[in-house]
Structure 1
Amino acid sequence: MMLENKVVAITGAGRGVGREIALLCARHGASVVVNDPGVGGGGEGGDAGPAQQTVDDIITAGGKALANLASVADPVGAQSIVEDAVQHFGRIDAVVNNAGILRDAIWHKLSLEDWRAVIDVHLNGAFNVSKAATPYFREQNSGSFVHFTSTSGLIGNIGQANYSAAKLGIVGLSQSIALDMARAGVRSNCIAPFAWSRMTASIPAETPEQQARVERLKTMSADKIAPLAVYLASDASQGVTNQIFGVRKNEIVLFDKPRPVRSMTKTTGWTPEAIADELIPAFRPSFARADEVSADVFPYDPI
């Protein structure tokens, strides 16, 4: 019971990864605010059913849960998620920023509307909910933020400029929260999940390579992500902050942050010509692959 007497708010918890996290948090003793407006994969529509179903399943199993249908993209809605936790369960101990949508498009076809929609839910949503919880975390000198990033942001992916930018932005947000809130005993970490869900189901599968990747993803169930989220939300993770983890079935990955790879000094100063003639030839063997995507970094099947 790693979360006994704790209160956890989980966004996007009506389906997929978020639902599995909510169920496991409840099994570990947490009272759970299940946030999900029930929108489609691209953010369209709305349905109270998914959030309420997760709540009903938790209560049936003997746990405590409450549904919240607000959009994390709305600061007032995000505030309501945290306020529901405090008003109904007395406190807030952890926030899991899992909510997300996808509106994939190759770069030259990506619309401003689709850019803003994805940034609003992922990056602004993580900001809004985290900001709402921060005063409570500071007052009680404890708390945990668990943010969801993606290898699309950490490594890169085709046709996902909006999603990639949002997900890498979440890493920057988490890092700064971890540094700023350390004095208050608050932790902030990221998880990059590999799991089959409505969102990953939209990945193109036109070439044999793409089809093989999708088939691998189908073997990665959402419930495998939940144990790490529960651990990071719990007091057992004291001292674990400002980290980026990945989960692929039974494999957990720790990602490094960008660090200098090579450096070169020219005492007379650099000119454009010297950069072309001296610097780039020296740096080129250490260049990151220009066409690298997540599948190139993780080409093997997890167990």
Structure 2
Amino acid sequence: MSTEKFRFDGRVAIVTGAGTNPGLGRSYALLLASRGAKVVVNDLGVGPDGRGQIGPGAQAVVEEIRSAGGEAVADGHSVAERDSARAIVDTAVETWGRLDIVINNAGIAPFAMFDEITDQDIERVVGVHLMGHIWMCRAAWPHMAAQNYGRLVNVTSGVALMGMPTQSIYSAAKLGVIGLTRSLASEGAKHGIKANALSPFADTVALRTMLKQEFSERNQAAGLVPETVAPVATWLAHEECTISGKIINAAGGAVSEAYISQTAETQPDPDLTLEAMPTVMEQALDRTGSAPYADGGDFIYDAVKPYETAPRTA
């Protein structure tokens, strides 16, 4: 009998984008499996920009897990299409009969300025980062709702909140992940489903394509490696983690929360004029006394009255 406090015995997890070494997804899959979870290791084996082939992929991670005594299967479907996302979920359910955890880690990041990125790359980035989260969560949702339990860990990025040259589409998609996660936290409350967004930073194959070698070496020396993020991701996937709708930063063993806040409103003015706007805007941008928005999990789902009367579409 293990003396480890936090175990995942009997739980089934999917980790997407988990076939790269060093990689965040791989570190999540390895830790989950070492604590008793049965893991679907999903990866296409493509490079950080979504092109070519890199490394041995998902099967190598599966072999690592199995050699350590764990249970895992490989999956090579894309998250970016509805049917292939369903196939990933089917792999878990058909193999082990249930699905408890999805860590949506898969991603690509081609570098290009906004006016230079190709239409195809725009569609690919949005397809993987935003639609990939949507399709995976949508495929997993019925299984989690039926068992009144589920954990969704959606990977976002600090770039989405700060903005970054050459990553406008990536930033847009990753900010969309935050909106999706907070809404799913609200809807999932009555189904026992917790959803949180994780913003990780670590020295990975993907990051090494972006940074000069000396920066990569500094990151490693500082402990900015995937293994220091894995406990955070797996904690968000654990049954004893009850937070929902949060945005959690993790890097080098340091953890913090990012949250969306609002400054104090200016005095209501029914006679507001365009000429008054410079003064009003100066007051509106004063962050003194700002307060956070409620998290998605804080909303009462049954109180959303318009849902009951809104017209439905086929």
Please report the TM-score for the alignment, with normalisation by the length of structure 1. 0.87
User: Residue 251 of structure 2 corresponds to which residue in structure 1?
Assistant: 248
Q: Is the 8 A contact 1:7 1:91 kept in 2?
A: yes
Equivalent pair of 2:195/2:245 in contact (CA under 8 Å):
yes
Report the Cα distance in structure 1 between the residues aligned to 2:147 and 2:78, rounded to whole angstroms.
26
Is contact 2:9-2:37 (8 Å) kept?
A: yes
Equivalent residue, structure 2, for 1:225: 229
On the 8 A contact 2:153/2:198 being kept in 1, the answer is: yes
1:134 Cα deviation from its structure 2 partner:
0.5
Displacement of 1:204 after TM fit? 5.4
How far has the Cα of 1:156 moved from its partner?
1.8
Q: Which residue of 2 aligns with 1:191?
A: 198
Task: Give the distance between the partners of 1:213 and 1:266, measured in 2 at CA.
Answer: 50
Task: Report the 3-state secondary structure (helix = DSSP H, G, I; strand = E; otherwise coil) of the residue aligned with 2:240.
Answer: helix
Task: Choose which of 11, 15, 18 in structure 2 pairs with 1:13.
Answer: 18
Equivalent positions of 1:1-303 (< 5 A) are 2-15=7-20, 16-46=23-53, 49-203=56-210, 216-218=218-220, 219=222, 220-237=224-241, 239-256=242-259, 258-265=260-267, 267-276=269-278, 278-286=279-287
Cα distance change, pair 59–266 in 1 and its aligned pair in 2 (3 A): closer
After superposing on structure 2, the runs of 4+ consecutive aligned residues of structure 1 that deviate more than 6 Å are none
SS at match of 2:115: helix
Instruction: Report the 3-state secondary structure (helix = DSSP H, G, I; strand = E; otherwise coil) of the residue aligned with 1:38.
Output: coil
Confirm or deny: 8 A CA contact 2:229 2:253 kept in the other structure: no
**Runs of 5+ consecutive residues of structure 2 not aligned to the other structure:** 1-5, 289-314
Q: CA deviation at 1:111?
A: 2.4
| Structure 2 residue aligned with 1:294 | none
* TM-score of the aligned structures, taking structure 2 as reference length: 0.84
Q: Secondary structure at the match of 1:191?
A: strand
3-state SS in 1 of match to 2:63: helix
Instruction: Using the TM superposition, give the Cα deviation of residue 229 of structure 1 relative to its aligned residue in structure 2, in angstroms.
Output: 1.4
RMSD (Å) for aligned C-alpha atoms: 2.0
| d(CA) in 1 for partners of 2:285, 2:103 | 40
- Asked if structure 1 preserves the Cα contact closer than 8 Å seen for 2:263 and 2:285, the reply is no
TM-fit CA distance, 1:45: 3.3
Letter in 2 for 1:66: V
Q: Structure 1 residues 234 and 204 mapped into 2: Cα distance closer, same or farther (>3 Å)? A: closer
Figure out how many residues of one structure are paired with residues of the other and give that number.
279
* One-letter amino acid of the structure 1 residue matched with residue 19 of structure 2: G
**Contact 1:2-1:236 within 8 A present in 2 as well:** no
5+ residue gaps in structure 1? 206-210, 288-303
> Residues of 2 paired with 1:119 and 1:6: CA distance?
30
The alpha carbon displacement at 1:214 in A equals: 5.5
Larger mean CA deviation between 151-160 and 53-62 belongs to: 151-160
Q: CA deviation at 1:200?
A: 1.9
The structure-2 alpha-carbon separation of the partners of 1:273 and 1:197, relative to structure 1 and needing over 3 Å to count, comes to same
